[in-house]
Copies of this chain bind each other. A is one copy, B any other.
């Protein structure tokens, strides 16, 4: 393998690890498998990372940053809260169905982090990002629809985010897209009704 800056090689290894994890699962993401996927030697993994744990941490950060990057804002202003929520959730759902493997990895790494000493904070960071994005979406919807939420934002944020999380997990198990989208839309309408004129 050509001589490359450690920083560059590090990125290559993270991307390789993401591919392996998405395709074969976190349990099968061994340092050897990652090295092979990146076309590098086993030693290069330990040269670029202090430990496998650090590599997996970077994998989660990479996936979360990618998946939560662009939650679209939906249709034009003036629409109702429910319609705006439907549009936003629909866009999010397309991302989910496009790469099921990556979605599975996010859950696998959550549980890995929760069980690994010194990595409990990673799972909390992950869900913190989720909640932040959801809260942002709720504020945006309210502003665009010209309404205010009838319940405390933290409660609504948690309902929204955990509902999505549960729907995704449920879909990963049975891949019933029709039912999942039906529940997603029903939830959007239900949540959208929890508004009042300011």
Binding site for B on A (CB under 8 A): 24-25, 27-28, 104, 107-108, 110-112, 114-115, 123-124, 126-127, 151-152, 154-156, 158-159, 161-167, 169-170, 172-174, 179-180, 182-183, 186-187, 190-191, 194
Task: With CB as the reference atom, state the residue of chain B lying closest to A191.
Answer: B190
> Top 5 A-B pairs ranked by shortest CB distance?
A166-B166, A162-B166, A25-B115, A165-B166, A158-B183
Chain B positions within 8 Å of A166 at CB level? 161-167, 169
Q: A107-B111, A111-B107 are known contacts. Are A162 and B158 too (CB-CB below 8 A)?
A: no
What number of copies of this chain does the assembly contain? 2
Chain B positions within 8 Å of A164 at CB level? 166
Contact A183 B162 (CB under 8 A): yes
Q: Give CA–CA (A50, B125) in the complex, Å.
A: 40
Q: Give CA–CA (A24, B111) in the complex, Å.
A: 12
Contact of A104 among B111, B159, B190 (CB under 8 A): B111
Q: A25-B115, A104-B114 are known contacts. Are A124 and B159 too (CB-CB below 8 A)?
A: no
Give me 9 other A-B pairs in contact (C-beta within 8 A), A27-B27, A123-B173 excluded: A104-B115, A114-B172, A114-B173, A151-B186, A152-B182, A155-B182, A155-B183, A158-B179, A165-B170
